[in-house]
Chain A
Amino acid sequence: MNSPNLPVVSEGSRLTPGELQSVVFPRAALGRRGYDEEQVRTFLQYVERELVQILNDKASLAEEVTRLRSEAAGSQPGVMAPEDAHFQAVRILSQAQQTADLYVADAERYTRELAHEARLHREAILSDAKGRAEQLLEAAHRRASEVAEAAVRTAGQPVPAASGAHAAPVAPDERRRMEQEIAYLRTYSDVYRTHLRSYLEALLRNVDEWESSERASLPRGAPEPPPRG
């Protein structure tokens, strides 16, 4: 029963406080007081080794912590603190949003420009059409005036009163004026109608061309334009 109850420590595992408490030294040899010196020395050497080992481990861990901290602080790839990951995500999302906003703004500007041009075009077409129409009216007016004057000349002589007794009596001057008016109106409306018809036909052709070119420009599978009218 002389051997001390030293903890059996395998390589790699550390001395624990519980093991220290359980150490029991054998009594010294007969005639001497206290513990066996040899056993105590051996044990102290063992504790010293353990302490050195622990201090070494601590130093290398501290080094590792410093290395990881500096890595996290810098922008090196590797482990990232949650805070930084969040800001990174916010930044990326902000950039994506700005890109989207830019595209939307570009599309809007493009639409506005196209619409503006289309409006100018429309106004030009309208004012052109109005000009033409006024020319037509002017021409009809001229033509009709000429015809009316001619009518007056040919009907210059007093007309025999063959209209029948039931007709209201009309002064020759008045009659001539009315005939002139009727001839004017007939011719005017006739000329105007002809011009208007050909103009409208031209417009209809334009509308048809417009429709077919619009249909041709639509991508495949696009919905049909709403029916006219």
Chain B
Amino acid sequence: MDARRLKDSFAQVAAQGDAVALFFYADLFVRHPHLRDMFPIGMTGQRDKLLRALGHIVAQVEDLPRLVPFLQQLGRDHRKFGTLAEHYPHVGASLLATLRHFSGTAWTDELAADWNAAYTLVAKVMVEAADEDALARPAWWNGQVVAVERRRFDIAVLRVQPDRPLPYLAGQSVALEVPSRLRSWRYYSMANAPRADHTVDFHVRLVDGGPVSPVLVRGTQTGDHVRMGAPVGTLTLDESSGRDVLLVAGSTGLAPLKAILEQLARRPAPPRVHLFFGARDRDGLYDLEDLTKIASGCPWLTVVPAVSEESAGHGFSTLLQSGGTEIEYGNLPDVVARRGPWSGHDAYVCGPGAMVEQTAGRLALLGVERERIRLETFADALR
């Protein structure tokens, strides 16, 4: 297998963009029409994912120690889509047909052999990882919604009862699928530490025009069903650390941090914990009531709500602020910085991309070691 030749070949093909993935899926579905049902109606996002995953694999084709874990995860992730070992050769055949079609005169027997060898290896690693995973857990969990609380017009908290135990670490997330949007999976974090009754909470914010979140926030009732993939994610509590903890949550990025908070509360001697909960405006602090209640029973916990797009206000707005909790004003990174120092802390940050990035950068400047800052990093785009 000639890695250079593969990379050059892929670069030439990938330069032709979306048409490549379009051809690939059409070729696959013409040959095997039953595979079409495994994909959503709109395929735009799917094509992006395919090209990105291929690019990622080809770029790392010489770096097996990094590539193999990626492929293993990819193989495990594909179980919830109903992917079976017998599907891999079909995909391989269509992939080679696509590459040949877009390579034109550059296609040679040697190149075909290279691609074939590369794909065979990729498929082998993925299938083996999936098979091994199948010994330990199901491809997906069925869940039933047992409670829905609409906290705001665009934010809901759902409680789901899985059909069998769903082991996970506080801070992890699962892909969710709703029956009315089959084949569209979106990741949501469990907002609680694992419970004896296995129920899990999800904090869902409605994304305008999105396929899944509007259904979850506005179209889901008690008794409805969802499917969940296996828990993933590295924003988990460092149980080996006895340091004080700083949690910084933007909007529904609160979910995994609340799970971590609950996990900390189970320690015989919890560390000092500061939880910053930020939103644009006051009614975006959808879970403040509950957090305040938790804090009132935990002397080691300080909850700091922060609002970025409202001023301290006067008159009626001050009257509304009768929660008793003092609200901070300003961007979350600034608010966190004001309440420092944080240099001795483990920091966990989750929320909108820009907020996470700014907060992490700010904390690093304030002397928090980079490896002490855990962010939400699951590679959603590659699934």
Residues of chain A at the chain B interface (Cβ within 8 Å): 86, 89-91, 93-94, 97-98, 100-101, 104-105, 108-109, 111-112, 115-116, 122, 130, 133-134, 136-138, 226
Contacts and interface: CB of A to CB of B under 8 A. Distances in A.
A93 B41 contact: no
Contact of B316 (A104, A112, A133, A226): A133
Contact of A90 (B30, B43, B44, B317): B30
B26 A90 contact: yes
A116 B154 CA distance: 12
Contact of B27 (A90, A134, A136, A137): A90
B22 A97 contact: yes
B26 A104 contact: no
A115 B22 contact: no
Contact of B153 (A91, A98, A122): A122
B315 A104 contact: no
Interface string B20-48: 00110111011000000000011110000
Contact of B44 (A93, A101, A122, A134): A101
Interface in B4-28: 22-23, 25-27
Q: Is the interface of A mostly helix, strand, loop or mixed?
A: helix
B316 A134 contact: yes
A86 B30 contact: yes
Contact of A100 (B29, B42, B208, B210): B42
A175 to B, nearest CB: 29
A89 B31 CA distance: 10
B42 A94 contact: no
Contacts of B210: 108
A193 to B, nearest CB: 14
B292 interface: no
Contact of B208 (A97, A111, A136): A111
- The B interface, classified by DSSP as helix, strand, loop or mixed, is helix
A111 B26 CA distance: 28
Given A101-B42, A104-B42, A122-B153, A90 B315 contact: no
Contacts, number: 57
Given A105-B44, A133-B316, 4 more contacts: A90-B23, A90-B30, A94-B22, A104-B41
B60 interface: no
A223 to B, nearest CB: 10
Contact of A97 (B26, B316, B319): B26
B44 A104 contact: yes
A104 B317 CA distance: 41
A93 B25 CA distance: 9
* Max count, chain B CB within 10 A of own CB: residue among A115, A122, A138: A115
A171 B6 CA distance: 97
B209 A89 contact: no
Given A93-B26, A100-B42, A112 B208 contact: yes
A125 to B, nearest CB: 12
B315 A93 contact: no
Given A90-B30, A97-B25, A111 B42 contact: no
Contacts of A111: 208-209, 214
A112 B209 contact: yes
Interface in B301-350: 314-317, 319
